[in-house]
Amino acid sequence: MHLPIEQLYKDYKDRGDKIVIDALSSRLDLWYRALSICKLGGAAYNPPYETACTELSNSINSYKRLKSRQFVGVAHKILQTQVDKTPKPEHVDYTNTMLKNKQPFELLESIWPNLSDNDQKLLLATYSNIESLDNLKKQGHFPEGIAFAVLKARNAIKRLLQQREQITFTFTDELKNRDLAPLPLYEAKTLRSDAEERAFEYWLADAPHICDDLIEFAPFAHSMRHGSLEKLNKLQKTKIKPATTTNEDVQNKEELTREFASPEEENNIIKLIIIGVILAVVAFAVYILVSSSTPS
């Protein structure tokens, strides 16, 4: 069980020993890194992340009179200011050992056909905004809520990547925690308002395991957010369909069957011809005998 960041900050103000300082520093570092990577991705996250860390480290002692519940908001504002100053990259490249030196699109392409149609629709609506989630909600049945259904679809991607591509994720969850429902909506930038996004980011300060998950899944989230799912959906629709059988095909098949009859079939035909000839000869002989024995 992780201590809330407010409690860590309170302990820092009250005691300030090395254990508390290290715990608070580690939590803030992970939180800042997760938010920066999710917002900017790739290498673009590093400058605002480092600048915000330095600014917070230099100013934290001046917050001694700051109430613990206010600390998260102040720390968040420092990072957000730096992120807002940073140009958003149009394209984000990821190739690392975790991804087996492959691009996220390549990995997503390998598992996309194995997702259910429902999961594909939910992911397309969330990360590509092809169709609104509100429309899907009207069309389908989501007893646990559509946001939680999207979270399950995201989890299906992780499971398939683990099974088929050996991509390891440190956080695996049975999805019993309803607080996780906004996670894919946050990644996809489809939460309804800045206030909702900010509230979820405050919550992440007390969820280090989810921060880890955001960092690990970021290559796929960015790829999906920048059009990979639309490409995969088009590729799947343009796959060649099985050819239908026509009358001409049937006729050609019959001709080929006759032309390339097996030796056994040919032998059977010859036997039938010989038997037919023998029967005809016997019948003719009987006719001659009967004719010759008839009185004139």
| 101-129: pLDDT as tens digits | 889 999 999 999 999 999 999 999 999 87
| 176-208: pLDDT as tens digits | 788 899 999 999 999 989 999 999 999 999 999
In contact, 123 and 227? CB cutoff 8 Å: no
In this predicted structure, what is the pLDDT of residue 81?
97
| 203-254: pLDDT as tens digits | 999 999 999 999 999 999 999 998 999 999 888 888 645 444 455 555 544 5
Counting every residue written for the chain, the total comes to 296
Determine the straight-line distance between the first and last CA of the chain, rounded to whole angstroms: 124
Average pLDDT in the chain: 83
Going by C-beta distance under 8 Å and a sequence separation of 6 or more, which residues neighbour residue 168? Answer: 98, 162
Q: Which DSSP string corresponds to 200-237? A: HHHHHTT-HHHHHHHHHHHHHHHHHHTTHHHHHHHHHH
> What percent of the chain has pLDDT above 70?
77
Predicted confidence band of residue 90 (pLDDT cuts 50, 70, 90)? confident
Residue 203 vs residue 92, higher pLDDT:
203
Residue 48 vs residue 262, higher pLDDT:
48
pTM score above 0.85:
no
Which residue ranges make up each domain of the chain?
5-85, 97-237, 255-292
d(CA 26, CA 3): 12
User: What secondary structure letter does DSSP report for 37?
Assistant: H
Span 281-290, average pLDDT: 62
Torsion angles phi and psi, residue 167, rounded to 5: -85, 120
Span 36-50, average pLDDT: 90
In this predicted structure, what is the pLDDT of residue 149?
92
Token pair of 219 as six digits: 């290559």
Span 259-273, average pLDDT: 52
In this predicted structure, what is the pLDDT of residue 261?
43
